[in-house]
Amino acid sequence: MSQAQNILITGASRGIGQAIARQAAQQGWSIGLNYKQSQTEAMDLAEELRATGVKVVCLQADVSQQSEVQRMFREFDEALGPLHALINNAGILASFLITQVDETNLHQLYGANVFSAYYCAREAVLRMSTTSGGTGGAIVNMSSVASRLGGLSGGSAYAGSKGALDSFNLALAKEVGTQGIRVNAIRPGLIETEIHNVHGGVAQMQNMAKTAVPMGRSGTAQEVAKVAMWLAGPDASYVHGSIVDVAGGR
């Protein structure tokens, strides 16, 4: 990058979000690290990234709540200045049968996986849109191959939330494409992160990948992060409204 660019990554304290933050630091971005509860992990990551010479700010917020998202973006503005890229990475993996659905588990899942993307994209567009004085930018939404495969047993709600995100991604791209904002998504497959603890952990996921994934292995958070930062950066300048599968052919 010819000059410093500012990026906000939601759910950045661990897993794929953490890997994206490290990749962004390698590319010289100034970084807003959002976390909900994992303060220690976020602070440790921020210290690690600052040691590489980049500017980092930790931003605590429950991104399923609009008021907290608005506060978080104001704090980002004050600490780093103009926003150039948003990675909508925050989300949860849930497993419950349709007979177990209730207002609590469904609202929590869609709040984390869908509402958060809307709230954060709203604030990003208000800042980046050329129609409101911004200079453009990029939004990357984190979906899942569950949106087209249906997920694992008990995954109807999770798969549905990611299907909603896929549709949102395309519709938002059509809405803001002439405002200097590119919108794309990533569909990770079986990636080695602790989010899979709900389905037996990384070891079980790795065993599943040997037969379920055409490449015969699970992926890493770093492999997803590299795609995310490519989509956020100038090399993907004509990539818009797309969903990139990072799933080993699954």
Q: In whole angstroms, what is the distance from residue 106 CA to residue 161 CA?
A: 9
Supply φ then ψ for residue 244, to 5 degrees: -100, 120
Q: What's the longest Cα–Cα distance across the chain?
A: 54
Please say whether the beta carbons of 198 and 15 come within 8 A. Answer: no
Supply the residues annotated as catalytic. Answer: 158
- Determine the length of the chain: 250
Distance CA 176, CA 35 (A): 27
User: 98: part of which helix (H) or strand (E)?
Assistant: none
> Is the four-CA dihedral 226, 227, 231, 235 of positive or negative sign?
positive
* Tokens read off for 161: 């939330």
